[in-house]
Amino acid sequence: MSFLAGAVTRVKPSATMVATQVARDLKNAGRDIISLSVGEPDFDTPDHIKKAAIDAINRGETKYPPVLGIVPLREAIASKFKRENGLDYKASQTIVGTGGKQILFNTFLATCDKGDEVIIPAPYWVSYPDMVTIAGGTPVIVKTTLEQGFKMQAEDLDRAITPKTKWVLLNSPSNPTGAAYTRAELKALTDVLMRPKNKHVWVFSDDIYEHLIYGGFEFTTPVQIEPNLMDRALTMNGMSKSYAMTGWRIGYAAAPDILIKALDLLHGQQTSGACTIAQWASVEALNGPQDHLPVFRKAFEERRDLVVSMLNQAKYIKCPMPEGAFYVYPDCSQAMGKKTQSGKVLQTDEDFISELLQQEGVAVVHGSAFGLGPNFRISYAAKTALLEDACHRIQKFTASLT
């Protein structure tokens, strides 16, 4: 009999973490490696946010915080949702987590019994299905296509809903594709959820890349489109991407009282409150100057345009233009069946990224890890010169295939 629980044995390692570690190991061994596998802004946390953390330390804000989060941060979260999204949440309907991951994980743990289903459009962030599985639920994967802009269609959502469906999980802009739903596209999905037969389904909106949108695209979130969903929706965001605070580990969400109380219970037995210093820094991030956001956006948009252009010049690669985040999700299906310089015949996107790493020293993540391939994900949260070098290496790799 296995010592480990069944939930652990069913979970796969995070493909992004694995790719990043392989690249790190090769680099430590002396290889010239460019790693574009991790989804982390290369910018530093803005100075006014760091100062707020230092001030909090000097004030002695170093004791246990409330499980749900310090009151000034929960008030700032409620104000943010009202100011930026037009959502009327009370501070009591918000929660602070140790990163967005904790909120995702505990939401499924709090709501999913064995057999309960969670609809997840593919491509998806690698952790979504495994979180559902650990909680005892069943991930229901709805595949999208490049031709659909990697966005779930209303008729596909409606078909996927059953009496066992608990959640539909939306991430816009998306990791791994950068695709973002327009107002009209979201309205089509929320219309499906408002049908009488589907009123048992809740929507989880992962808005972590909200501020990283380009070309005049207008961000919207489901409850903003359909206010009648507020009683069965959780809207999640966090400090990591828009504020370059990945290591500070602060995520937050707003939801109906019944769910916030359940998350309070789970957080209380799991981690208790998130780091006080990071919480006070987050108060300043949400309430303070937002001058860094257009700077981030401009830099990321320029990098996006560069990478898409260079990848579309690579043989056998087709790369769509994403609306947001800092990822591209190129199609490499035309490279399948081709032979590398080492004599390896490419059968899968995992073969593609493995041979690319060995031959040219570029680390990316294979698309099948995100539920849809043959593709691969590149994070362009890196310096322009590094991105140019990486794209030249990818062009060289694909040109060498026979």
The phi and psi torsions of 252 (rounded to 5 degrees) equal -150, 165
Peptide bond into 13 cis (omega under 30): no
Give the model's pLDDT for residue 157: 98
- Domain locations in the chain? 6-44+292-399, 64-287
Token pair recorded at residue 41: 């802004």
Q: What is the pLDDT of residue 6?
A: 83
Which DSSP string do the residues of 261-273 spell out, in sequence order? Answer: HHHHHHHHHHT-S
Task: Identify whether the C-beta of residue 280 lies closer than 8 Å to the C-beta of residue 70.
Answer: yes
- Condensed to tens digits (0 to 9), the pLDDT of residues 320-331 reads 999 999 999 999
Give 45's pLDDT tier (boundaries 50, 70, 90): very high
Cα 233 from chain centroid? 18
pLDDT band at residue 1, thresholds of 50, 70 and 90?
A: low
Helix, strand, coil percentages for the chain (3-state, nearest 5): 45, 15, 40
For residue 123, cis peptide bond before it (omega within 30 degrees of 0) = yes
- CA distance readout (Å), 97 to 126, 138, 240: 20, 24, 12
Which residues, including other chains, have CB under 8 Å from residue 228's CB and lie 6 or more apart?
Answer: 194
Fold of 64-287: Aspartate Aminotransferase; domain 2 (3.40.640)
* Angle between helix 276-287 and 47-59 (nearest 10): 140
CATH number assigned to the domain with residue range 6-44+292-399, chosen from the 4 options 3.40.50.10150, 3.20.20.80, 3.20.20.70, 3.90.1150.10 = 3.90.1150.10
> What's the pLDDT score for residue 2?
76
